[in-house]
Amino acid sequence: MVHVEGETPVPLLHARGLSYARNDESIFGPLDFMLHRGEVVLIEGDNGSGKTTLLKVLSGLLEPATGNILLDGEELTLARLSHQVALMGHLPGLKSDLSAIENLDFTIGVFGLRPGITPALALASVGLEGYEDVAIRQLSAGQKKRVALARLLLVPAALWLLDEPYANLDKEGIDLVNRLLDAHARRGGAALITSHGAYAFTTGAPRRLPLRSVA
Amino acid sequence: MRYGTTASACAALIRRDLVLTWRRRGDALNPAMFAMIVVVMFPLALGPEPNQLARIAAGILLVAILLAGMLALDNLFRSDHEDGTLEQLVLSPHPLSLLLASRIIVHWLTTALPLIVVAPLLAEMLHLPRSVLPVLLVALALATPLLSLLGAVCVALTVGMRRSGMLLALLVLPLYVPVLIFAAGACNAAQAGLPFLAPLLWLGAALALALVLAPMACAAALRISIT
């Protein structure tokens, strides 16, 4: 965890009274929680409890019904989205006609690049060395997921919002996600993840954020 | 830490769309093929009388090109929506309207420009007087970007729906009517030997307005429809 001497650290993410409603029907909340740098938190909840919606609200894709989101102490709104947030949703967000490298180059153009890494390095660290020029169309669902993970490594975002990062991955891939999360937390990043299965993190059980169905 | 600038984001988007179009270059010719087939149908239905065809040539051409452009519209955001890229674009900290403007410009380049290129051939097939051709081309150069911009707003509104083809047509076509009236008005005036500048200037003014406003409306509509 990154501490500033003599000060209480400002949480990377601070949700205050956050709730979301669709057509006046409450989906989740109100929720209050903090996420500090160096933390990985697992959002727990049944199907339909609003885990995906929560991540979309936190990313700024959806506007909360009540409450607000502070990112490093500054309010996050639709009009002021941040480079600090990266969302990995159910859809991989990859163009199937482009190669893995071309997709990653596009991501860098839009979101920027973390120092000390290149698209080829990122692909190698998710176990896709040699697949640089293969069209996404020809990759399996698990390999597409790995390309989406490589994208997370490239973008200069401190907060990762991962929706079902373990889906479609083999055992080795699950270990990979855990290793990436650990490394990200050690670098001073933080992550919120949703998952149905209980997965052991290498550094022990993660903090859990329970999400109950409102209905 | 290097963050992406808005210019680099637009450049990346334009480069990506051009590469994608090139990978599927067969598809890029479809609107032009469609317009050609529609134009061929008129002499088959009306008879090959040159004078009769020449009188309605400009109108047929404009309607055929307008319909071809409308059929190509649906793909403007659909594939990006289906594979999740649109979500990533909306989340990027850059002004969404500028990103969408880049997307619309490339879409115009890859769907409408081929139509303008084949327009002289189509005009010849319908015996359009050669003196009217330059006016038709200027009208098309002003009208097609306007159609793309207006269409993009409607596509943004319907992108979240499945099978929105017919609904899109019902939304878009009324908006296309004024554009058609001014473009056809210029061609008909030129054909009758009357001054034709005013309708072209109106098209230009509308295009300038749409260039500024349509990407913003498009961004707002897209945010509504992806939620």
**Domain ranges, ordered by start, for chain A:** 1-84+158-210, 94-153
CB atoms B4 and A105 under 8 Å: no
pLDDT value at B180 more than 80: yes
- Bridge partners of A209? A43
B137: exposed, middle or buried (Cβ count in 10 Å: 0-12, 13-18, 19+): middle
**Chain B hits for A107, Cβ within 8 Å:** 88
Residues 185-224 of chain B whose Cβ lies under 8 A from any Cβ of chain A: 223
Report residue A176 as tokens: 């990979």
CA atoms of A77 and A62, how far apart (whole Å): 9
Query: Which is the CATH superfamily of the domain at A1-84+158-210?
Result: P-loop containing nucleotide triphosphate hydrolases (3.40.50.300)
pLDDT computed for residue A50 by the predictor: 86
How close, in Å, is residue A19 to chain B by CA atoms?
15
Instruction: Say if residue B84's pLDDT is above 60.
Output: yes
Q: How far, in Å, CA of A207 to CA of A191, rounded?
A: 11
Confidence of residue B140 (pLDDT cuts 50, 70, 90): very high
Per-block mean pLDDT, blocks of 10 residues, chain A (215 long): 58 91 86 90 84 90 90 82 87 92 94 92 93 93 93 93 88 90 92 74 69 58
Contact A110 B13 (CB under 8 A): yes
Mean pLDDT score, B26-32: 89
Query: Is B1's pLDDT higher than 80?
Result: no
Residues of B in contact with A106 (CB under 8 A): 12-13, 15-16
Nearest to B227 by CA among A46, A116, A56: A56
- Min CA distance, B153 vs chain A (Å)? 19
| Cis peptide, bond prior to residue B93, ω within 30 of zero | no
Average the pLDDT over B142-169 and give the result.
91
- Average pLDDT along chain B: 93
In this prediction, residue A147 carries a pLDDT of 95
Task: Find chain A residues with C-beta within 8 A of B96's C-beta.
Answer: none
> Residue range B156-176: average pLDDT?
89
Q: Are B99 and B77 in contact (CB under 8 A)?
A: no
Angle at A15 between CA A203 and CA A86, to 5 degrees: 60
Complex prediction ipTM? 0.86
